[in-house]
Amino acid sequence: MEGNLNPSDKKPLMTDAFEAACPLFMSYGMTYDEFWHDDPVRAKYYREAHEIVLEQMSFNAFVQGRYVRDAIADFIEFYAMTSRPKVGKHYPEKPYPITDRAKRIAEEHREEEVANRYLKMLGAKRNGNND
Amino acid sequence: MTITLEYNGKEYKLGFTRASIKQMEQDGFNFMEAQNYPATLAFSLIEGAFRTYNPKISEDKIYEIFDSLERREELVSVLMEMFQEPLAILKSPEGDEAKEKNVPWKVI
């Protein structure tokens, strides 16, 4: 390119930084062409997406740890401390509700169960069957 | 961040990609050193910004368009900011503050 300064023997600093960062951003899912030829701002979204993935991984590990913890608690309580195995009460019968939607559905199911138990207790269900 | 301008009914997009910056540096451009030579810096940035998205444009055409622009000093200032953006975004979240919109530019 004409109009440039005298070529320097030093390797250009920005190119060095780009070449060093390229594999990192490719590990985030960015393609080589996106990194070099597309809008440079795109890298920002790949980095942010990667941070979200890390948070999801951390959350998944946390939830898995809770399942393991509850399974071990069941084992200790019902097999190590008593001679008679019982039904475990620590390990959940359903997956933990994680999303807001799942929490809402779980809450609706819980309220439904409470209501059913209450009706059963009052004998309302039997009366209903007799009708 | 890109600049778009219209000249004689044709739209030109100006900006930098990492590849175009690499090409400029391979051709001898060094941003840090160039800051000591404002005229050279300006010419290099203008040419580089045009050639990123218009690789076949001639040097004469670039300067014909540039000479017709108003607020040329401001344009060079914006190009300096744009040139640093691809690196700033990689380095830290602060670099994310770089504008993502097209900068409007008018031709006299």
Residues B50-87: tens digit of each pLDDT = 999 999 999 999 989 988 888 888 899 999 999 999 99
| Chain B contact probe: residue of A19, A39, A50 with most B CBs at under 10 A | A39
Rounded to whole angstroms, the Cα distance separating B14 from B20 reads: 11
pLDDT at A118: 87
H/E element, B104 = strand B102-104
Rounded to whole angstroms, the Cα distance separating B60 from B75 reads: 18
Rounded to whole angstroms, the Cα distance separating B55 from A53 reads: 37
pLDDT at A41: 92
Rounded to whole angstroms, the Cα distance separating A26 from B68 reads: 41
CB contact under 8 A, B29 and A21: no
Residues on chain B touching A15 (C-beta within 8 angstroms): 21-22, 25-26
Query: Which A residues 44-73 touch B at CB under 8 Å?
Result: 44
pLDDT at B107: 63
pLDDT at B17: 95
CB contact under 8 A, A18 and B18: yes
Query: Which A residues 3-22 touch B at CB under 8 Å?
Result: 3-8, 10, 12-15, 17-18, 21
Mean pLDDT of chain A: 81
Q: What percent of chain A has a predicted confidence (pLDDT) above 70?
A: 77
Q: Residue A3 above 50 pLDDT?
A: no
The gap from C-alpha A28 to its chain's centroid, in whole angstroms, comes to: 17
pLDDT at A91: 75
pLDDT in tens, A43-87: 999 998 988 898 888 888 888 988 898 888 888 877 766 666 555
Q: Of B81, B84, B76, which Cα lies nearest the Cα of B50?
A: B76
Range in A76-85, A95-104, B14-23 with the lowest mean pLDDT: A76-85
B37 inside 8 A of chain A by CB: yes
The pTM score is 0.67
